[in-house]
């Protein structure tokens, strides 16, 4: 566990990287070791989901109008933004974190957005990564 990271027992926490394998599809990577390779990202996400894991997304500060937004982070996969988490600052949800998945990237199929709230930033990251993994793994349901 990384210093400052909160351990939450119900969060299996296993996060696996899915990366492009340069003209060979996609690879699943854990600590630098390639676990498996697939022709498409949907099959790669199914592999991750079936292990009880989630895809480790890339996270960065949300930037709007050239300015970093406090308590706001953007998740991306293969350099495409797929969602955000942000800390609720006001009202009855103050102090909690909201997360949402929203992407219009045709590789991932627009699905109307999944969202929720979590008590901590780490829980919001977990929930967004878990739901995005599940969504892509089950992408056949969302084809139109």
**pLDDT tens by residue, 65-87:** 999 999 999 999 999 899 999 99
26-62 per-residue burial string, b: 16 or more CB within 10 A, e: under 16: bbbbeeeeeebebeebbebbbbbbeeebbbbbeeeeb
Terminal Cα-to-Cα distance of the chain (whole angstroms): 42
Q: Give residue 128's region: left, alpha or beta (phi > 0; psi -120 to 50).
A: alpha
Compute the distance between CA of residue 71 and CA of residue 69 in angstroms, rounded to an integer.
6
Compute the distance between CA of residue 121 and CA of residue 61 in angstroms, rounded to an integer.
13
Could you tell me which residue, 139 or 109, shows the higher pLDDT? Answer: 139
Q: What is the mean pLDDT of the chain?
A: 85
Give the global pTM.
Answer: 0.82
| Average pLDDT estimate for 31-52 | 93
**pLDDT tens by residue, 100-131:** 998 766 655 555 568 899 999 999 999 999 99
Query: Which residue shows structure tokens 């949907």?
Result: 42
Q: Give yes or no for a contact between 81 and 61, defined as CB atoms under 8 angstroms apart.
A: no
Q: Give residue 8's region: left, alpha or beta (phi > 0; psi -120 to 50).
A: beta
Could you tell me which residue, 53 or 139, shows the higher pLDDT? Answer: 53
Query: Which residue shows structure tokens 């982070």?
Result: 73
% of the chain residues with pLDDT over 70:
81
Helix 121-137 and helix 41-50, axial crossing angle in degrees, nearest 10: 120
Q: How confident is the model at residue 24, as a pLDDT?
A: 83
């Amino acid at each position: 566990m990384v210093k400052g990271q909160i351990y939450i027992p119900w969060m299996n926490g296993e996060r696996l990287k899915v990366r492009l394998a340069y003209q060979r599809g996609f690879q699943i990577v854990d600590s630098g070791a390639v676990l498996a390779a697939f022709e498409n990202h949907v099959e790669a996400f199914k592999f991750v989901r079936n292990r009880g894991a989630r895809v480790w997304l890339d996270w960065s500060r949300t930037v709007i109008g050239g300015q970093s937004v406090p308590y706001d982070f953007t998740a991306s996969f293969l350099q495409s933004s797929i969602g955000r988490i942000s800390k609720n600052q006001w009202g009855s949800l103050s102090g909690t974190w909201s997360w949402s998945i929203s992407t219009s990237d045709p590789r991932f199929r627009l699905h109307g957005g999944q969202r929720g709230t979590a008590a901590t930033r780490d829980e919001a990251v977990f929930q967004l990564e878990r739901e995005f993994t599940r969504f892509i793994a089950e992408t056949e349901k969302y084809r139109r």
